[in-house]
Amino acid sequence: MAKKGTIEFVCQTCGAAYPKWQGKCDSCGEWNTIVEEKSGGEGFSNFTPKSKGRILDFVPLSGALEKVERLETGIKELDRVSGGGLVAGSVILVGGDPGIGKSTLLLQTCAKIANKAEGYECYYISGEEAIDQVRIRAKRLELDQSPVKLASATGVKDIIATLEKSNAAVVIIDSIQTMYLEEVESTPGSVAQVRACAYELIKLAKKKGFVLFLVGHVTKQGSIAGPRVLEHMVDTVLYFEGERGHHFRILRAVKNRYGATDEIGVFEMQDKGLVEVENPSALFLAERQGNISGSCVFAGIEGSRPVLVEIQALVSPTGYASPKRAVVGWDSNRLAMVLAVLEARCGMNLSSQDVYLNIAGGLKISEPAADLAVAMAVISSLTNKPLPADAVIFGEIGLSGEIRSVGQPNSRLKEAHKLGFNNAITPPTHGNEKKNTSYDMNIYEIGNVQRLINWFN
Ligand code: TYD
Ligand code: MG
């Protein structure tokens, strides 16, 4: 580790440090990301050992637990994602593309908490926008009367001096990339600054017991700019995602020391800010047109709840030497696998066809349970025969063409039933898993991809 005040060369993408400059970072493989920085001692500013260490007390694993107090924001989708409310002294990093709505979400959260009868002190510190800009947003959101304390500042020293004396319950720093500490001689947004500023702010949040939100920018590659270290330093990492052209936004927990990860909250960006979406399936399926080939409905699970989405495939003869495969919202490797299985096990000829796959509405799905729905959409497009509009599909496909069971079939079926679907195409029931047949639905269990073709004859 570099000594205080020494020069080192740090990759701005991954945080790896080198003694001299080089064009390519050996650690992450990026070009032109290495920048000269004067090390401020890793943010642990003035560390000089004053005395010998103290002997540690060891305790048994069992013992009385401190109850975690949670502050409910009143925004249900955010409470769900955070694991049932905000924990005092916890630090939450909110990442997302520019313009996706991070500032809007946090201003709404802050105002909602400040408006509570308990009189929580809420601080909104903007390093990106001037007071007037935030005020205009507050007016638009009709939150300009709520007792939020607003400041436009970037100096972490000033922020810490102010918060030390406050009785803050919630503090929002928008964004961590604009903050700076004079002691660290590199520009705001550099790895050293981000790390040092975050370290100081987190230390204060733990000491004073307020909830700290840090807004973090996202790089081209989709990870939070600055070192990965930032994600390790905080308790919770939330990503705010969505497609530019779509009005809905997904808040996704990727790390949470106080709750489940992969939980999602769904919001819709409207004229007057973000509105919670209680029934995401209805939203995702709103623009679906029935009786079209290449389209089918996948019953997925996001976090703890079922979400129905439309999967669209377009298969058309290729004009290229090697056929094109393009995927939006799903894993392109998985599509390649599904296509290979269809070719090898069902004898389909896809090598002369371009295949485009789209998860309608802009949702990103990572579940292998979508395999079967993708395969159905592809076959439907290839044969130009639509699937019944009131059928949902889920199931994983194995390399030998077998359809494998997936988690929580009953929640998927229940959601589909709730939304008026009458048919479900599912993997066979195995072992202890019992499909609940009390829903008034026709359930078709398919054991192998070869049998899929029968649906289109
Ligand atoms: P913003 O919160 O500034 O995004 P971020 O902080 O992530 O960069 O959101 C900006 C976008 O949201 C902007 O394009 C306008 C839109 N918006 C609405 O559609 N409705 C609203 O009520 C507000 C405040 C913003
Ligand atoms: Mg912003």
**Band (330; pLDDT cuts 50, 70, 90):** very high
Ligand 1 atom index nearest CA of 107? 2
**pLDDT value of residue 331:** 93
**pLDDT value of residue 6:** 76
- CA distance linking residue 422 with residue 440, whole number of Å: 7
Ligand 1 atom index nearest CA of 215? 6
Ligand 1 atom index nearest CA of 98? 8
**pLDDT value of residue 434:** 63
Half-sphere exposure of 315 (CA within 13 A, CB side): 23
Closest C-alpha residue for ligand 1 atom 14: 99
Q: Mean pLDDT in the chain?
A: 88
Find the range with the poorest average confidence among 110-114, 222-226, 318-322. Answer: 222-226
**pLDDT value of residue 394:** 95
- Is the pLDDT reported for residue 433 higher than 70? no
56 CA → ligand 1 middle, Å: 49
Cα 295 from chain centre: 26
Contact between residue 291 and residue 380 where contact means Cβ atoms under 8 Å apart: no
Quick: pLDDT tens for 244-291. Answer: 777 889 898 989 999 888 788 999 999 999 999 988 888 788 778 878
More confident residue, 219 or 81: 81
Percent of the chain's residues with pLDDT above 90: 54
Closest C-alpha residue for ligand 1 atom 13: 99
**pLDDT value of residue 455:** 78
214 CA → ligand 1 middle, Å: 17
Closest C-alpha residue for ligand 1 atom 10: 99
Quote the pTM value: 0.79
Quick: pLDDT tens for 186-219. Answer: 888 888 889 899 999 999 999 999 999 999 987 6
Contact between residue 310 and residue 361 where contact means Cβ atoms under 8 Å apart: yes
**pLDDT value of residue 2:** 46
Write the single-letter amino acid at 93.
L
Return the residue matching tokens 């398919």.
446
Using alpha carbons, list the distances in angstroms from residue 4 to 38, 59, 133, 191, 330: 8, 36, 38, 16, 46
Q: Minimum-distance ligand to the CA of 178?
A: 2
99 CA → ligand 1 middle, Å: 6
The whole-number average pLDDT for the span 120-131 is 95
Decide whether any atom of ligand 1 lies within 6 Å of the 217 Cβ: no
Contact between residue 300 and residue 307 where contact means Cβ atoms under 8 Å apart: yes
Quick: pLDDT tens for 136-172. Answer: 999 999 999 999 999 999 999 999 999 999 999 999 9
Decide whether any atom of ligand 1 lies within 6 Å of the 108 Cβ: no
The whole-number average pLDDT for the span 37-63 is 72
- The tokens describing 402, both together, are 């077998």
**Band (44; pLDDT cuts 50, 70, 90):** very low
**pLDDT value of residue 401:** 93
SS (H, E, C) the chain: CCCCCCEEEEECCCCCEECCCCCECCCCCCECCEEEEECCCCCCCCCCCCCCCCCCCCCCCCCCCCCCCEECCCCHHHHHHCCCCEECCCEEEEEECCCCCHHHHHHHHHHHHHCCCCCCEEEEEECCCCHHHHHHHHHHCCCCCCCCEEEECCEHHHHHHHHHCCCEEEEEEECHHHCECCCCCCCCCCHHHHHHHHHHHHHHHHHHCCEEEEEEEECCCCCECCCCHHHHHCCEEEEEECCCCCCEEEEEEEEECCCCCCCEEEEEEECCEEEECCCHHHHHCCCCCCCCCCEEEEEEEECCEEEEEEEEEEEEECCCCCCCEEEECCCHHHHHHHHHHHHHHHCCCCCCEEEEEEEHHHCCCCCHHHHHHHHHHHHHHHHCCCCCCCEEECCEECCCCEEECCCCHHHHHHHHHHCCCCEEEECCCCCCCCCCCCCCCEEEECCEHHHHHHHHC
97 CA → ligand 2 middle, Å: 9
**pLDDT value of residue 225:** 63
